[in-house]
Amino acid sequence: MKYKCLIVDDEAPAHKVLHSHISKIEQLEIAGDVYDGKEAIDFMIKTKVDILFLDIEMPKLSGLELMQCLPYHTPIILTTAYSNFGFEAYQNDVVDYLLKPISFPRFLKSINKVIKIIGTEKEPVKFPDIELKYEGILKVINTKNILFIEAVGNYIKIHLENEKPMLVTQTLKYIGSLLPPHYFTRIHKSYIVKREAIMDIKKTEITLTNKAILPIGRKYSVLLE
């Protein structure tokens, strides 16, 4: 089996190094080369990739921001010249964290970890159920019924299709980690929306199927183009 690799880095020399390393491993093949986060999302929507080599410091959308809005789950190996992003990498469940310049032995160690993980993963449910504590009890929510989620102070408000909104003690980052990324998008520091619920997109706002109008954050607008 061949594993398709996507390289996301704004510097051509980094692509060259990874091309060289990938060419030495029979199980790997290069699916594509992109140079910013928006290109990565467009590519992944059209083409399924198995491994993502992701730089952190990039224009428009950083690697850490991109990880919050990938169209589907795929193992990530961060490639960076900076050593101070280890905690963020750990929080985002990346498989490995490679410091440039990347040696082939270190690269090979990462690939062995990724292949082992891919071998044990199962295909995720498109719209999984999630459990959240609401008014003192554990409530099961099917994510397909969520229109959008709003950060409200130390709470999040979950807006559902046919029920009243739920106010839950939780963070937007946490709830975002539970949602299927192909179907939900962060559009603002305070909002996550279901893509299917978007009816209209303007420069600074979107309109949803329930007529709600939500602002688009500047750094997130690239995700809706």
Could you tell me whether strands 96-99 and 155-160 are parallel, antiparallel, or unpaired per DSSP bridges? unpaired
Task: Give me the pLDDT at residue 220, please.
Answer: 72
CA distance 158 to 191: 10
- With 0-12 / 13-18 / 19 or more C-beta atoms within 10 angstroms meaning exposed / middle / buried, residue 88 is middle
CB of 127 closer than 8 Å to CB of 142: yes
Task: Give me the pLDDT at residue 7, please.
Answer: 97
Is 201 found in the same domain as 103? no
Task: Give me the pLDDT at residue 81, please.
Answer: 81
Q: Which residues pair with 173 in a beta bridge?
A: none
Rg (CA), the chain: 19
Task: Give me the pLDDT at residue 218, please.
Answer: 78
Is 33 found in the same domain as 16? yes
E strands present in the chain: 3-8, 28-34, 51-55, 76-80, 96-99, 129-134, 137-142, 146-152, 155-160, 166-168, 184-188, 191-194, 198-201, 205-208, 213-215
pLDDT in tens, the chain (225 residues): 789 999 999 999 999 999 999 999 999 999 999 999 889 988 998 899 999 999 988 877 778 888 877 878 889 999 988 766 554 555 556 888 898 999 999 999 999 989 888 876 655 557 888 888 888 888 999 999 999 999 999 899 999 998 899 999 999 988 988 888 778 888 899 999 998 899 888 888 999 999 999 998 877 776 665
Tokens linked to 8: 């996301």
CATH number of the domain that residue 51 is part of: 3.40.50.2300
Task: Give me the pLDDT at residue 121, please.
Answer: 61
Task: Give me the pLDDT at residue 77, please.
Answer: 93
pTM of the complete model beyond 0.85: no
CB of 158 closer than 8 Å to CB of 168: yes
CA distance 126 to 202: 28
Is 71 found in the same domain as 16? yes
Residue 83: helix, strand or coil by DSSP?
coil
Task: Give me the pLDDT at residue 222, please.
Answer: 63
Is 91 found in the same domain as 63? yes
Is 108 found in the same domain as 11? yes
